[in-house]
Chain A
């Protein structure tokens, strides 16, 4: 009886394998054998947490890449070659991430999209640097994540959000007198504030009040608001998360202070806060790489395809990952690389090409990269209007 069961399960398993393989070659358009050792396909690997605490991020990246790979293969691939794609789970753990990298190397990976979270990315970039493997992270924000010349990123780094915000405010003439309220007990908030202040100085914006709070005293903002008001701030910059921002908006409303409000990606989600009065956030602007409710055509198509494929609304991580593949495609076409080149040759060619291309993506328009791996892109700013996010 036991033997029978075993035999049955083996049979089932092999049937499954056969059917999967069939799927693969159908999807490959007959142009190549998907998953073969790879002299005629580009082998692209991905690493991120698909289980554990940050599973929602890793899964979004995995799906975002999948969607882009399918589209690119459908449209004829990169330089006429199809892409083979494999994603490994790292549970957002540095050690597991390095193991996942080695697994993918054994599989024959030529370029890495990942890792998703900052800490493992810092560990993996050490390995890719030694191997001279091209690495492109969709979402690792810490500065060290792309510290070597073989690594690039799609998202803004933490501190650069401050620079970009100041540029946006100055270039669009939103205000000249700025108040800032930031969390001095968070490196995220302080880092953004410092870069904001430096850039504001360059751009001729005047920071009339810069007031801090700490995580121990994050409920009373009357003083910070009063100071901003007395100093005549026309716009208050909030490089903080949405919980505190919701309190600030409520207290400002109560004291009859109505400046313009400008936040960063931490503001994303304020409308989902339980019981939050959306009218308080009317007119609040914030920097975000992507919002699924944006009404431009590219976003709408992406959201519709993603929902059809995975049954879920994409978050910014999915959009970053999707963009990564199209950037790789653009750079690969610029460099004219082919799958029979060595990993190191591909990396060297890509390194140069990355700094030469300009790409329009879901998470920004006219994106270019510097040798330091940091993207330079026009930020997308959304404004809250009638309780919904609207792209400006």
Chain B
């Protein structure tokens, strides 16, 4: 019975990783850059929702909407100001370093504005959850909502990328930016849209993360951000279904590792698995091998 309980916890944690990983993987797939500030956008989203709910008295769903809007704008602004001018820079390192800079900038702004004190995040899911097998197995409402939200986001996003026109433009830019531009696709607009979607997902992830683990400080986004990045690489960076698979697997491995191997070794285990996967399959589980054209 406790195995099932661990598994469900792992799925829930993995769902949060997966939603964050989607932001990494989409931006990488389309703009070919690692947006290390993604984890901190999550934190900003969580603070926005918290302030909307506690200080402005906004109900839960509108508060999440406000967080999504704020993060979307933030994501697009970061892209415009910090990344776009460097898109054609000679070294791809420049934009990577800028991303790290943006990450620290966001953390320190949050320290300045919100202070270093840990805030307790109010519960956004009022439902107390299911009690199965005569009360032996309790699944909390937050856990179920998190897993459900992840699945819905996954399906919607896949449909969007496969069927819609902007989605097709994204795939085109991802495959060959130059050719896409020649075909009349607005590359800058498409990249901005990618950042907008990634950041909106970050806001949702922030709210879910802080509902499951109700504590918020300016560094809250950092560790989940790194783990989600690992999940994205694990699943095959650039692939949406890869982010999903990678996130879920990572969450389950982390929780089961903590339960059955050692609670201190959980993080070491996660990164060891990453190394093994990359040694065996360098492009990740679902990563496509792209032939470099000469």
Write the residues of chain A forming the contact surface with B, with a CB cutoff of 8 angstroms. Answer: 184, 211-214, 216-217, 219-220, 222-224, 226-227, 230, 243, 246-247, 250-251, 254-256, 273-277
Could you write out 27 A-B pairs with CB less than 8 Å apart?
Answer: A212-B263, A214-B264, A216-B223, A217-B267, A222-B5, A223-B6, A223-B255, A223-B258, A223-B263, A224-B258, A226-B5, A226-B6, A226-B9, A226-B259, A227-B2, A230-B2, A246-B120, A247-B213, A250-B214, A254-B138, A255-B140, A256-B135, A273-B118, A274-B118, A275-B119, A275-B120, A276-B120
- Chain B nearest CB: distance from A224 CB in Å? 6
Residues A216 and B267 in contact in the complex (CB < 8 Å), given A255-B140, A275-B120: yes
CA–CA, A254 to B144, complex, Å? 13
CA–CA, A213 to B213, complex, Å? 15
Residues A254 and B140 in contact in the complex (CB < 8 Å), given A214-B267, A226-B2, A247-B213: yes
Residues of the B chain whose Cβ atoms lie less than 8 Å from the Cβ of A256: 131, 135, 138
Chain B residue with Cβ nearest A277: B120
Q: Which of A213, A230, A255 contacts B263 (CB 8 A)?
A: A213
Interface residue? B166 (CB, 8 A): no
CA–CA, A217 to B262, complex, Å? 13
CA–CA, A184 to B255, complex, Å? 17
Q: Which of A220, A243, A246 contacts B13 (CB 8 A)?
A: A220
Is the beta-carbon distance between A243 and B267 smaller than 8 angstroms?
Answer: no
Is the beta-carbon distance between B119 and A219 smaller than 8 angstroms?
Answer: no
Chain A residue with Cβ nearest B50: A275
How many residues of B are in contact with the other chain, CB < 8 A? Answer: 30
- Chain A nearest CB: distance from B34 CB in Å? 20
Counting from the closest, the 10 A-B pairs by CB-CB distance are A275-B120, A219-B213, A254-B140, A211-B263, A223-B258, A212-B264, A222-B9, A256-B138, A223-B259, A276-B120
Write the residues of chain B forming the contact surface with A, with a CB cutoff of 8 angstroms. Answer: 2, 5-6, 9, 13, 54, 117-122, 129, 131, 135, 138, 140, 142, 212-215, 223, 255, 258-259, 263-264, 266-267
- Chain A nearest CB: distance from B8 CB in Å? 9
CA–CA, A211 to B262, complex, Å? 8
Residues A274 and B119 in contact in the complex (CB < 8 Å), given A226-B259, A247-B213: yes
The number of A-B residue pairs with CB atoms under 8 Å apart is: 73
Chain B residue with Cβ nearest A185: B264
Residues of the A chain whose Cβ atoms lie less than 8 Å from the Cβ of B118: 243, 273-274
Is the beta-carbon distance between B2 and A217 smaller than 8 angstroms?
Answer: no
Residues of the A chain whose Cβ atoms lie less than 8 Å from the Cβ of B267: 214, 216-217
CA–CA, A96 to B266, complex, Å? 43
Residues of the B chain whose Cβ atoms lie less than 8 Å from the Cβ of A254: 129, 138, 140, 142
Residues of the A chain whose Cβ atoms lie less than 8 Å from the Cβ of B263: 211-213, 223-224, 227
Residues of the A chain whose Cβ atoms lie less than 8 Å from the Cβ of B266: 217
CA–CA, A222 to B5, complex, Å? 9
- Chain B nearest CB: distance from A241 CB in Å? 10
CA–CA, A227 to B255, complex, Å? 12
CA–CA, A250 to B128, complex, Å? 13
Residues of the A chain whose Cβ atoms lie less than 8 Å from the Cβ of B6: 222-223, 226
Is the beta-carbon distance between B140 and A274 smaller than 8 angstroms?
Answer: no
Chain B residue with Cβ nearest A254: B140
Is the beta-carbon distance between A247 and B215 smaller than 8 angstroms?
Answer: yes
CA–CA, A256 to B264, complex, Å? 24
Chain A residue with Cβ nearest B223: A216
Q: Which of A211, A226, A246 has the most CB of B within 10 A?
A: A226
Residues of the A chain whose Cβ atoms lie less than 8 Å from the Cβ of B131: 256
- Chain B nearest CB: distance from A205 CB in Å? 21
- Chain A nearest CB: distance from B274 CB in Å? 15
